[in-house]
């Protein structure tokens, strides 16, 4: 099996799987709450690991189920007024765009999409020119799902800080594949998932909230973990980012996430990024050299995500043909990226996303298979 679908869900290393399974076994042996209490220090350490990963403080981290829920908890905490502007990227992911459109519909906010620059990544000069006193939020992604570029997050952060505007960064596809440093980027809020390039379990995600903005954010849902019921008619929210969490969660998965973060830190994010660049450069160059194969990645800085189409064979069919050869890739459709893909004339692309543990031989196996598809296209 060659797994080149790390942008979908990566494969967890053995220590992650072992940690999850062993916590589940403890739950079965001594009881769920009792296993939770027993693993209290380990669960607490997950916050410290994530904080170390992104250069934040443990009290600025909330553990949630996925990147969308992390992003939503931040976004829906903002009290948008009619006419408030939300600036977003062309490469924005569907779930974020849908939430923005809901707030536009229900609260009268206005969304403006920042154009791309000549290289295809978000144009920071366009962003700068769109800032005015109605802008309430800049919500952009770091690495899009459907395009192998890296947006200039730190330049966006500098513009946001200068303008005094909240900056929410969707780092779902970047955390775990690149060094991500919230102090360097200057985002106030960052959402990410566990299952992709971090190699954590499914059903895990996290939100970073800069301490300085926490008090201005009123979460859309509160429970008795996020707040304390202090009197029959009163409650007090937690003073840390855990006000965005729920009390009930898969603690086995959270423990697994912590192990995945430590694993990534041990391998080293710089080393991971360098290896990913090597593998994806080999992949893109190989694909581009096959007549009738088109690579669609833009941006002057590239991620590991590699998108392409094959003349004469639909992306879904390419994925199936690769699956027959035991090579996992995915297909991304324009429904996930309506600000981006239709404008580039793309309805669907094949997405191959290597990660550092993949080998050059696996990349070459995909290239050979795509060559075969070109020789015998689907009818």
Q: Choose between 192 and 370: whose C-beta lies nearer to ligand PLP.
A: 192
Q: Is 249 exposed, middle or buried, given 0-12, 13-18 or 19+ CB atoms closer than 10 A?
A: middle
Interaction between residue 147 and ligand PLP (CB under 6 A): no
* Residue 95 in contact with ligand PLP, rule: CB under 6 A: yes
User: Smallest distance, Å, CB 67 to ligand PLP?
Assistant: 3
Q: What is the DSSP letter of 371?
A: H
Q: Which listed residue (93, 251, 263, 308) binds ligand PLP by CB under 6 A?
A: 93
Going by C-alpha positions, the residue among 232, 231, 378, 236 that lies closest to residue 318 is 378
Report the b/e string of 123-158 with b at 16+ CB within 10 A. bbeebeebbeeebbbbbbbbbbbbbbbbbbbebbbb
First-to-final CA distance of the chain: 27
| Integer Cα distance of 55 and 292 in angstroms | 44
Q: Does 67 bind ligand PLP (CB under 6 A)?
A: yes
Binding ligand PLP (rule: CB under 6 A), the pick from 63, 122, 150, 172 is: 172
In the list 176, 201, 205, 219, the residue contacting ligand PLP (rule: CB under 6 A) is 205
Beta bridge partners of 168: 139, 189
Q: How far apart are CA 132 and CA 138, in angstroms?
A: 12
- Select the residue interacting with ligand PLP from 193, 306, 313, 330 (CB under 6 A): 193
Minimum CB separation of residue 303 from ligand PLP in Å reads: 10
- Closer to ligand PLP by CB, 2 or 193: give it: 193
CB of 233 to ligand PLP, least distance (A): 36
Binding ligand PLP (rule: CB under 6 A), the pick from 5, 12, 49, 66 is 66
24-53: contacts with ligand PLP (CB under 6 A): none
173 binds ligand PLP (CB under 6 A): yes
Identify which of 183, 221, 250 has the alpha carbon closest to the alpha carbon of residue 46: 250
- Of 38-46, 76-84, 140-148, 225-233, the segment contacting ligand PLP by CB under 6 A is 140-148
Q: Is 68 in the site for ligand PLP (CB under 6 A)?
A: yes
Smallest separation (angstroms) from ligand PLP to the CB of 264: 17
In the list 6, 12, 145, 306, the residue contacting ligand PLP (rule: CB under 6 A) is 145
Q: What DSSP string describes 263-286?
A: HHHHH-HHHHHHHHHHHHHHHHHH
286: which 2 tokens?
Answer: 């190989």
Please identify which residue in 2, 49, 141, 313 interacts with ligand PLP, judged by CB under 6 A.
141
Question: Which region among 46-54, 60-68, 268-276, 310-318 touches ligand PLP (by CB under 6 A)?
Answer: 60-68
Q: SS3 for 136?
A: strand
Query: Phi, psi (5° rounding) for residue 334?
Result: -65, -20
Verify binding: residue 305, ligand PLP, rule CB under 6 A.
no
371, burial (CB in 10 Å: exposed 0-12, middle 13-18, buried 19+): middle
Q: Which is nearer to ligand PLP, 71 or 263 (CB)?
A: 71
Q: Of 27 and 340, which CB lies nearer to ligand PLP in the complex structure? A: 340
Q: What are the residues binding ligand PLP (CB under 6 A)? A: 66-68, 93, 95, 141, 144-145, 170, 172-173, 193, 205
């Amino acid at each position: 099996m060659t797994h080149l679908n790390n942008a979908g869900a990566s494969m967890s290393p053995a220590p992650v799987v072992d940690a999850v399974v062993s916590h589940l076994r403890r739950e079965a042996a001594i009881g769920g709450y009792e296993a939770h209490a027993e693993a209290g220090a380990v669960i607490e350490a997950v916050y410290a690991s994530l904080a170390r990963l992104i250069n934040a403080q443990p009290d600025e981290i909330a553990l949630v189920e996925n990147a969308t829920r992390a992003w939503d908890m931040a976004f829906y905490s903002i009290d948008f007024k009619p006419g408030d502007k939300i600036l977003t990227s062309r490469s924005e992911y569907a779930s974020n765009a849908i939430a923005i459109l809901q707030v536009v519909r229900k609260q009268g906010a206005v969304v403006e999409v920042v154009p791309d620059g000549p290289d295809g990544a978000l144009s920071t000069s366009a962003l700068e020119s769109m800032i005015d006193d109605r802008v309430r939020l800049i919500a952009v992604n770091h690495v899009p799902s459907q395009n192998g570029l890296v947006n200039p997050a730190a330049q966006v952060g500098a513009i946001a800080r200068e303008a005094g505007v909240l900056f929410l960064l969707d780092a779902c596809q970047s955390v775990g594949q690149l060094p991500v440093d919230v102090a360097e980027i200057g985002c106030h809020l960052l959402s990410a998932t566990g299952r992709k390039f971090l190699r954590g379990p499914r059903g895990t995600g996290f939100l970073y909230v800069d301490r300085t903005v926490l008090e201005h954010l009123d979460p859309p849902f509160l429970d008795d973990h996020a707040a304390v019921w202090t009197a029959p008619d009163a409650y007090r929210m937690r003073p840390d980012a855990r006000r965005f969490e729920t009390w009930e969660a898969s603690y086995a998965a959270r423990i697994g996430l912590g192990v995945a973060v430590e694993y990534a830190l041990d391998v080293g994010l710089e080393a991971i990024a360098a290896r990913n660049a090597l593998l994806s450069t080999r992949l893109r160059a190989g694909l581009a050299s096959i007549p009738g194969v088109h690579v669609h990645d833009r941006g002057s800085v590239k991620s590991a995500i590699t998108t392409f189409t094959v003349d004469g064979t639909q992306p879904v069919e390419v994925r199936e043909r690769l699956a027959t050869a035991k090579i996992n890739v995915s297909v991304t459709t324009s429904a996930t990226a309506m600000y981006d893909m239709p404008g580039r004339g793309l309805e669907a692309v094949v997405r191959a996303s290597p990660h550092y543990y993949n080998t050059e031989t696996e990349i070459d196996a995909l290239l050979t298979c795509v060559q075969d598809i070109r020789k015998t296209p689907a009818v």
